[in-house]
Amino acid sequence: MPRPRKTVAEKAARLPLKYQPSHRIASWPIAWDSALGAKIEGELISLAQDLGGWEHLSRQRQILVERVVFLYLWVTQYETALFEGKTPPFDHGAYFNKVNTLHGHLKTLGLERRQKPVRSFAEAAGWNSQ
């Protein structure tokens, strides 16, 4: 005998008052629903996808991805200030130091895109491929 279907009110009563994602990529204590949080999350996801997906990266590579995004946004802040004719937030020496560090982290992660590991249909279905 099928279970009775829940009403819309019953379903709504079980929902949290505010959406809370089940996980976050980075562990930074920031407001992820802010404009800055959305920008950071977008950069993290974009870079992780190019490396084969966050869940397929080792923890060491995940940490490097976080550092790359941090440095990238910091360097971008400097460059944006120059384009807008404003005083940059730090000097040229610090900028080039950050760019070189960013370059090193990117080379460590790899500069080519990687495909996510893909399971065959037989593996996904649980068939023995002997």
User: For 11-32, how does the pLDDT look when each residue is reduced to its tens digit (9 = 90+)?
Assistant: 767 766 554 554 467 777 888 8
Domain hosting residue 38, numbered range: 32-115
Asked if residue 47 is part of any domain, the answer here is yes
Asked if residue 6 is part of any domain, the answer here is no
Asked if residue 46 is part of any domain, the answer here is yes
Residue 30: which of 62, 69, 56 has the closest Cα?
69
Asked if residue 89 is part of any domain, the answer here is yes
Report pTM: 0.69
Residue spans of alpha helices (H) in 21-126? 35-50, 59-83, 92-109, 121-125
Give the helix/strand (H/E) hosting 92: helix 92-109
**Mean pLDDT estimate for the chain:** 84
Q: What is the pLDDT of residue 19?
A: 47
Q: How far apart are CA 65 and CA 46, in angstroms?
A: 10
Count of domains observed in the chain: 1
Tell me which residue has tokens 């920031």: 30
Asked if residue 108 is part of any domain, the answer here is yes
Asked if residue 17 is part of any domain, the answer here is no
pLDDT, tens only, 49-84: 999 998 899 999 999 999 999 999 999 999 999 999
Asked if residue 66 is part of any domain, the answer here is yes
